[in-house]
């Protein structure tokens, strides 16, 4: 159920519009106020969509950049980012491909 709800919201992260803005703010608010299980689900849905071929929907890219770069969300401090070396490598690669000049902060 949780995955489907987050996925349905992520489907609305498309071109610049108030609809996309609402979806993006919902995802970011859920991430900031939820436990690690929900945060991991949100990260999984967004990263799954970034790993496919380009072009990425504008709203998805903006939401993921905000999540990765804004210290308020403390993305890199969540335990799921360090659970396995493969997951950490994928997240770091995604972060680097989105914004190459700003490497992720892995300090806990």
Q: What is the pLDDT of residues 1-15, one digit of tens each?
A: 899 999 999 999 999
> With 70 as the cut, is the pLDDT of residue 104 above it?
no
Whole-number Å distance between alpha carbons of 64 and 47: 8
Find where tokens 């987050």 sit: 6
Mean predicted confidence (pLDDT) in 44-65: 87
In the block, which residue shows the tokens 């790993």?
51
Q: pTM score > 0.95 for this model?
A: no
Token digits for 58?
A: 């504008």
Contact between 15 and 59 under an 8 Å Cβ cutoff? The reply is: yes
pLDDT of residue 108: 44
Tens of pLDDT, residue by residue over 71-91, are 999 998 998 888 888 888 888
């Amino acid at each position: 159920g949780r995955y489907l709800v987050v996925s349905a919201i992520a489907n609305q992260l498309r071109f610049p519009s108030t609809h996309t803005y609402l979806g993006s703010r919902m995802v970011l608010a859920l991430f900031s106020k939820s436990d690690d299980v929900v945060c991991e689900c949100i990260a999984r849905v967004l990263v799954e969509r970034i790993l496919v071929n380009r072009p990425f929907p504008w709203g998805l890219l903006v939401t993921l950049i905000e999540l990765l770069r804004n210290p308020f969300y403390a993305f890199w401090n969540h335990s799921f980012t360090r659970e396995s070396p493969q997951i950490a490598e994928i997240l770091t690669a995604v972060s680097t491909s989105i914004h190459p000049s700003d490497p992720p902060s892995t300090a806990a």
